[in-house]
Amino acid sequence: MSDNDKQPQGDGNNGGGSPWMKSLLIWVGILLAIGLFLTQFGGATTAAGSNTIPYSKFLDRVDEGTVKDVAISRDVITGTGTSGDKFRTYPISDPTLVPHLRQKNVTISAKPDEGTSMWMLLLYQSLPFLLFLGIAFFVLKQMQKNTGGGAMGFGKSRARMLTQKEGKVTFDDVAGIDEARAELTEIVEFLKDPTKFARLGGKIPKGALLVGSPGTGKTLLARAIAGEAGVPFFTISGSDFVEMFVGVGASRVRDMFEQAKKSAPCIVFIDEIDAVGRHRGAGLGNGNDEREQTLNQLLVEMDGFEANEGIIIVAATNRPDVLDPALLRPGRFDRQVVVPRPDIEGRIKILEVHMKKVPLAPDVDSRTIARGTPGFSGADLANLVNEAALMAARKSKRLVAMAEFEEAKDKVMMGAERRSMVMTEDEKRMTAYHEAGHAIVALHEPASDPIHKATIIPRGRALGMVMRLPERDSYSYHRDKMYANLAVSMGGRVAEEIIFGYDKVSSGASGDIQYATGLARDMVTKWGMSDKVGPVEYAQPEGESFLGYSSSQPVRMSNATAQLIDDEIKGIVEGGLAKAKQVLTDHVDQLHLLAGALLEYETLSGDEIKKLIAGEEIGRPDPSPKSNVPRAGTSIPKTRRPGGPFGQPSPLGA
C-alpha cells in the first residue's frame, strides 16, 4: 500500500487537488505544446511566403525608383516600397548592388542572420517526440491508478486502510447477534489493553473466521471492529488476490503482510475468503496453480516460521464447507464465530436500529413485525423497513404506519400484488375454494401454525396463498407438526375434488405435492420417522462431491430397500391426503363459508377467518368495486405454471 492509499477517502478536495482538475491541467499542457509547435513552424512558413518577389523584379523596382529602404543580410533582403508595401527577396552574389542602391537614393541597413540556433532546431525536432512521451506517461499514470500499481505493480497488495471519516460503525449499530459480537469485542479489548490478558499467559488470537448465511451481518461486524478498535484496519476481498498470472496472488499476500507489519498492531479483514481459500486439489485435473500458490502463501504468513505478531486476520464466508482444513486449524483461525439468523428478540433489536432513520406512526409495533418475519436476516429486515418507507412516500404520507409495514412484509414474503390480472369467475371460484381448503384444514389441525393471512389476489407467481406464521421461533421439527403440514398441503387439492369433482381437479396443487413429497422423503430417509424403514439414514449426501472435505459417501441400498422407501413416502403423503379429506368432509359448510368470504373480500386476516368460522361478524364494511381489482370479465390467455398457482407452500406449510 502506498502512502497515498493511507490518506482519508474524502471528496477529493484535499492537498493533491481533485482528479478532474489534474486531468484538465494535463490536457491544457498538451494543447499548449501542440499550439507552440504549430506557431513556430507555421509562423516561419507564413513569414517565408509573405510577398516574396524574384531578385530580377527587385532590381526593376530599384531602377523605377519605387524602393524606399532595404535591410540586407546574408540570406535575405527585406525592404519597403515608396507606397509603404513590404517585400522580401533572396540575394545572389552581386557586387554592384550597393552602388546601384546608393545611386537611386535607397536607404541601406545591415541585418544579422535569421538562422535558427542549434538548440532551437533540436527543440523543434524533438517536440513531437516529447509530446508522445507526455501522452504515454499520462496513460500509464491512469493505468497505475486503476490497477493498483500500474504495469509494474501486479504484485502490490490491493488492501486499503479503512478510515472512519464518514459513516463510522460501532457495536451499537450491530444488533441481534450478541454472541458473535461478544467474541469480537474480546479481540478489540485485547488490542486496547493486551496486558490484561497477557499477565495470565493469554496470547492474542491470530485469526477469527465469521461464518453465516448471506445478509446476517458479517461485513457489518467487521466494520464495527474498525470503529471500535482504534487501530489500523485493512480491508480486502478474497478475489483481489487471484489473477491469471501464476505467482501474482502470492506476491500480493506477502506485500499485504509487509504493509500490515509496519502498522502493527492492526486488523486485516478478508471478505469472501472462500475465493482464495478453497480446498487444495479439489478441482478436476491439475487444479488451479495460481489459487493454490496464493493459499499456500497465506498459510505461511498466518502461521509459519516467521511470526507476524500483532496482526489479526478477520475473514468472512458463507461457504465454510469448501475451505481448506489447514486454513481452519488453531494458530491460523483460532476462532470460528457463527453469525446466525436472528431470533425474535434479535429481529426486534435489528428493526429498532433501522427504524431510527424512519419517521414512525404511533401504531407501529416492532414486536408484531418481528413475530411475522421468522427466518429473516438482518439484510432482509433492512429491506423490509426500506420498502415500508418507499410505500409511505408513494402515498405522500409524512409517517410510516403499521399498514405500510404489513404491506411491505407481504410484498417481501409473497411477492407484489398483480391486480391487473383478469381472471374469469370460474378461476376465481376455484382459487377461493383451493385456499379455503388449506385454511380449514390448518384451523382443525392442533399442531399447525396459526393462519396469518389468506388471499386470492395474485402475488408473484401464485394466484392465491394462505400464509401461516409460528407463534414463536422453533429450533426443531416435531412429528405431529410434520403430519399436520402434510394434511394442510393436501387441503387445496382435496377441496377442488370435493367441490368441483374428480375430473375438474387442476394443476394448482403441484407445488403442494412437491412440498409434501419432499417432507415425507426427509421423514423416511433423514429423520427415521418410518417404523418399517427404521432409524437409518438413506438420504444422499448434499454438497459438492469432488471437494474431498466430507467423508460422506453415496448411500448404497438394495432394490428392496429402495422400494420400501418409495412405498413409505407414498403412504405418508396419502395419509395426509386422507386426513385433509376427512376434515373437509366433516366441515364442508365452513369450506363454503370461507370460500364465499374470500370471493367477496379477496383478502382475510387470521383473526377474521376465526371470527367467520365462529359465526361472528368480521367487522369490515362491504367491499366497493375497484377498477384495479380482478373481477369477473373477459378472460385473457393464461398458462398456469406447473408449480401450484393456488398457493405455493413454504416450509411452514401452505
User: What's the pLDDT tens digit per position in 43-76?
Assistant: 544 444 458 888 888 888 888 888 888 888 877 8
Beta bridge partners of 312: 267
The answer to which of 91-105, 126-140, 313-327, 622-636 has the lowest mean pLDDT is 622-636
pTM tops 0.85, yes or no: no
The three-state secondary structure class of 602 is: coil
Give the bridge partners for 605, in sequence order: 453
- Over range 256-267, report the average pLDDT: 82
The tens digit of pLDDT for each residue in 169-181 reads 777 777 777 778 8
> What angle do the packed helices 588-601 and 559-586 form, to 10 degrees?
80
* Highest-confidence segment of 122-126, 416-420, 476-480: 476-480
Please list the active-site residues: 435
Q: If pLDDT is split at 50, 70 and 90, which confidence band does 517 have?
A: very high
- Where residue 483 falls among pLDDT bands split at 50, 70, 90? very high
Res 633 pLDDT > 70:
no
Give the CA angle between residues 423, 428, 434 to the nearest 5°. Answer: 140
Q: Which grid cell is 375?
A: 427466518
Give which of 423, 415, 585, 427 is closest to 491, Cα–Cα. 585
**pLDDT > 70: percent of the chain:** 73
pLDDT at residue 198 in the model: 74
Q: What pLDDT shows up at residue 574?
A: 94
C-alpha 462/C-alpha 644 separation (Å) is 7
In three-state secondary structure terms, 81 is strand
Residues 6+ apart with CB under 8 A from 612: 593, 594, 597, 604, 618
What's the whole-number average pLDDT of the chain? 76
287-346: pLDDT as tens digits: 457 778 888 888 888 876 666 677 888 888 888 888 888 888 888 888 888 888 888 888
Partner residues linked to 270 by β-bridges: 236, 315
Q: Which residue did the predictor score with more confidence, 238 or 128?
A: 238
